[in-house]
Structure 1
């Protein structure tokens, strides 16, 4: 069998792709609504991000093979070996995240979790007339709320930095290694050598249940204040 013959393999389920692209749009919405003082919209956008991140964390343990942390998080030595071979030519044989990309996913998820969580406790901003105070701000001291407000702003800057590094890495793979990482995240399908075993995809019913559970959890938490 000629292992250089490429065939289409479904590697990303619709749930991973939903979280990926919806988060991109929601971050843009969060930034715009915050900059323009539309704090009710800003708050709702933050709730949506938190819901998606909680779902993605759960899906990372119970979902499709390529979504599971245990499948794509590799040792630091594996990351160094992968980066050391970056400039070597060759077809893309990765079914899911590569060794370096897996850790970038973890960093982004941690930042995306911290961002809305700190926003829940944020202090009231006098320049905004509506909804500038986080729903759980009353559960902590004013000093703690102010500190978390500052952390909320810093975390967003870190998200932008991490996202920028992610985009640069995708471009580097595209133009240096000739690996297209964007199309598979849009379509779910990747061209891989013939004989590559397709990953197991998670149950849609389980995904719906986890997403609904994440939404209910966020709703309940925001009512604690």
Structure 2
């Protein structure tokens, strides 16, 4: 076999893959429950998103190589070289999230964080009052509710749609993004360093997720 023949390399560790699909499920659940008036379930899905976002923030520091923010958050110069097609192979910009995909991911996580934050302090004066609403003024709570139900919601849906459109476009070009996020591996040059994905890494992820979930539970019950 030639030395440069692509081989399967572990890019997305199991915790990252589970996070991805769990976040998708929680966001869909939050949207559907809100649209169908199931306000008992809407905040539960929101709390799940809260815990998952906290986990991803930590996992972006200590997770597998290609799940770390340091591996895919790039500066303007690198993004520009990628757009111009002048990046070098040694930069490995297409191994995990490419520079454009990274911007999409960061924007999606940021908007989700704002939606969670505004939901926690919201008050629709009908069926739901966020557990942290008492910590803000009435005007702030109403402004947060307006954003959460208006611009924030549509911005989130727009970013999700853009994310799905990008995945579809890459799939049509033969880029196995979905299969990589499902199975964890991509066909890459054999010298591509893999992400750590052993028992110790998975145990660490479980501990971090449990801690994040307990933290969210404490926040919700402390003031809720």
Contact 1:93 1:193 in 2 (8 A): no
1:142 aligns with 2:143: no
User: Matches of 1:222 and 1:115 in 2, distance apart?
Assistant: 16
- Structure 2 stretches of 5 or more lacking a match? 87-91
Find the counterpart in structure 2 of residue 62 from structure 1: 62
Greater mean deviation of Cα atoms: 197-206 or 29-38: 197-206
Contact 1:64 1:199 in 2 (8 A): yes
1:61-210, aligned counterparts within 5 Å?
Answer: 61-85=61-85, 94-126=94-126, 128=127, 132-153=128-149, 154-176=151-173, 178-201=174-197, 203-210=201-208
- What is the count of residue pairs matched by the alignment? 215
Contact 1:6 1:192 in 2 (8 A): yes
Shift of 1:174: 2.6
Specify whether residues 186 and 55 from structure 1 end up closer, same or farther in structure 2 by C-alpha distance, changes over 3 A only.
same
**Moved >4 Å (runs of 4+):** none
Shift of 1:93: 7.5
Query: TM-score of the superposition, structure 1-length normalised?
Result: 0.88
Find the counterpart in structure 1 of residue 47 from structure 2: 47
- Structure 1 stretches of 5 or more lacking a match? 87-91
Q: What CA RMSD, in Å, does the superposition of the two structures yield over aligned residues?
A: 2.0
Shift of 1:38: 1.2
Specify whether residues 3 and 114 from structure 1 end up closer, same or farther in structure 2 by C-alpha distance, changes over 3 A only.
farther
User: Matches of 1:63 and 1:149 in 2, distance apart?
Assistant: 34
Contact 2:93 2:99 in 1 (8 A): no
User: Matches of 2:33 and 2:93 in 1, distance apart?
Assistant: 41
User: Matches of 1:219 and 1:111 in 2, distance apart?
Assistant: 22
